[in-house]
Amino acid sequence: MKTFPDMVELPFLHEAAILYNLKQRHLDSKPYTRTGDIIIAVNPFQWFTSIYTEKVRANYSNKLVWEDHEGDVRKLVEPHVYEISSLSFKGLAFGGNDQSILVSGESGAGKTETVKIAMNHIASVQRGKTVASDETFTDPVVQRVLDSGPLLEAFGNAKTRRNDNSSRFGKYTQLQFDQGDKALTQFASKDGIMCKLAGSKCDVYLLEKNRITYHDSAERTYHIFYQLIAAPDSQKSAFWSGMQGTTNESFRFIGASSTDTIEGKKDGDHWKTTVEVLKQVGVHGDKLKSLFTAICMVLQLGNLSFMKDPKDDDRSVVRDKKEFAALSGLMGVSEQDLTACLTERTMKTRTESYKVPLNADASQEAADSFAKEIYSKSFLWLVRNINDATCAEINYKDGTKTDFGIIGLLDIFGFESFVRNRFEQLCINYCNEKLQAKFTVDIFRSVQEEYEFEGIPLDEIKYDDNTDVLDLIEGKAGLLSMLNEECVRPKGSDEAFVQKAFAANKKSPCLIVSRMNRKEFGIHHYAGKVMYDSDGFVHSNQDTLPSDLFDCAMKSSNEIVSKHLSNEKCSNLAEKDVSAASNKGRAPKRAKSNLVAPTAWTKYKGQLVKLMAMLQTTESRYIRCIKPNVPKKKFVMEHLNTIEQLRCAGVVAAITLSRSAFPNRIDNKTAKYKFSSMWDRSKFPSKSKGDMEPAEKLKCDCEALLTCALKPMEETVDGKVVKMFVTGKTRSYFRMGALEYLEANRTKEMGSTVVSIQRYIRGWFIRK
């Protein structure tokens, strides 16, 4: 049976037809399918060299960006990631609008690889119209970004049950472009357009800290730990003598691993790549030693254990003094100072401060928290170094330029649902809910509301709205507020958080009450039901080191630890001062330790707000990645699993919208200005009248003008004329291909006009 590259053209619109179409294309080695403006990317679990050659790159660039074609130019090419990257560049270069490409999908669906493919092609597009050849080209800026990829994967990726190389953080990469004088962009020809790749930088979100200290038996912690262990003794002992002869089992945070191979490459070989790329981004010599000494500290902190002090039941002591002495030497901190920060806590009131002892469990918790903080700060330090090596502000030849056009690529963790779902899964799924809300607004709601405002009839589009879920999570009495409240209570507990959440949100249709476990709750997410085990939620959300550990870190001989953890303390204290200033004149509060910084969830929500605000300033395009089967086999598509992902991606609703809507639009003033030369007023007079409002007159003029200009494109279906446009109160809307037809004809007319003017001028000079 016939398959359809664009599922908008499916004769029957239902899930079975969509699934069959995708499955057949998957079996035909065609991983990409179009759904209106969205690309569906089905992970083939293999590399198809033939669809990523330099010839193919040039073909998409030329047809979609640099050449003039009538009609819907996308029909000239097969659906591809290159389509999205080409149109994003075109939107920036010729439209002057910052762009974003949002790549989504569950773990293992191929998001990270898709981002790499798009990024490489954007660099190819910006070179201008090229002759198709087999010569491989990679822009130096993009090459630096791609080269840094293994670094972020080494420090931020881990083996999970679903994916051997799962990103455990979110990444928003911004390619920076020099657009010259933006004011001149609209007047420039395609040959004269200025849009040159100048640099890149990336922001990272929500590194999964708990994976540093704990992972399931079938999973691994971060790749870099295994790479370091697999390094030659001569190299790893140069960072710290205690690494000599160590194995995975030497450290509690690592432990036995079922594999030493990730994506066909052994940990030792990955290590060589990691060190080489670190040198390329300027991390070598003392910097390299500082980084891996900090990583060694994390591992050694995991080897500490505590027991009850024989002399005092309320106090704790270190169980293995040899392990403790090794950590002391590694950090460059005295054993006395290290003991104090791990076994005591400084409490403060407005008038005094004093020490209280910690029991064995609290000391162990302090050591683990210290390890997580050191690792996360090392990761951020690495990201800053990568940005310093790639960003336009530092590396671009025009050092005075500060304003760059942006094409952003978002690669963020997909929706997660495991046997046991923890705090991290709730944060990840919350992020996916926010992105789904943006997708809904971009693709569905905004179009429907706009058409209603413009007075254009549009069949009612049914789509899933996740407002109720977001209200449950981030509303005034939502889970976020309840958990933050519990974190500041003297004896806040996970169970109390869950029970208060039930009481405050009992009317929510999205909350699932567990009858079997008082610490368990569930949410009906847009992607399906997920049950969460709240054990450890309060602790994970507090996410703040006591001042004692910060003070100890500041004494370390390691610059990453001493400098970057102290910066965190200053940030926390600044926020505390703001809070204190707002509470002046109130009654003195109880004595407390320095746990006053924003919670993990509050910080993460702040990051998301910033990200969403950034995305709002861009024109967004979407790639929905699909994982066709769990075992990651070639040419296999599991029906139920795939259709569930398609529902989550809103594919059916997107097809409905694309069929009902006119995808291209411009305001009426621009339409009349640009295309009035194609208007034969004698044959197509305007229906405007003298007593009409200016906007209404303009609408009538546009209707007449566009009827005339698009007459050759009209089609007759079932005896009815199908118009290629519709005019609203302030804008004109076009079916696919219509606006491109107008632009192509306008270009031809301008060309012939220029020739006529040149002929007249030459004749004038001859006659003169």
> Residues comprising the binding site for ATP?
105-112
User: Does the CA dihedral 714-717-719-724 come out positive or negative?
Assistant: negative
| Spatial separation of the C-alpha atoms in residues 120 and 118, rounded to whole Å | 6
Q: Residue 746 has which token pair?
A: 């306008």
Where is the binding site, in residues? 105-112
In order, the DSSP letters of 352-384 are -EEEEE--HHHHHHHHHHHHHHHHHHHHHHHHH
- Exposure string of 642-666, with b = 16+ CB inside 10 Å and e = fewer, is bbebbbbbbbbbbbbbbeebbbbbb
Q: Residue 556 has which token pair?
A: 């370390």
Residue 234 and residue 228 in contact, taking contact as beta carbons nearer than 8 Å:
no
Residue 83 and residue 64 in contact, taking contact as beta carbons nearer than 8 Å:
yes
| Spatial separation of the C-alpha atoms in residues 436 and 428, rounded to whole Å | 12
Q: Residue 200 has which token pair?
A: 């890149």
Q: Report the half-sphere exposure of 195 (CA within 13 A, side-chain side).
A: 35
| Spatial separation of the C-alpha atoms in residues 134 and 132, rounded to whole Å | 7
User: Does the CA dihedral 572-573-574-576 come out positive or negative?
Assistant: positive
Q: Report the half-sphere exposure of 12 (CA within 13 A, side-chain side).
A: 9
Q: Which amino acid is at 102?
A: L
Q: Cβ atoms within 10 A of the Cβ of 439, count?
A: 22
Picking from 727, 106, 211, 252, the residue whose alpha carbon sits closest to that of residue 457 is 727
* DSSP collapsed to 3 states, 256-313: CCCCCEECCEEHHHHHHHHHHHHHHCCCCCHHHHHHHHHHHHHHHHHCCCEEEECCEE
68 phi, psi to nearest 5 deg: -100, 125
Q: Which amino acid is at 6?
A: D
Q: Residue 70 has which token pair?
A: 């009538």
- Which stretches of 661-737 are DSSP H helices? 668-675, 694-709
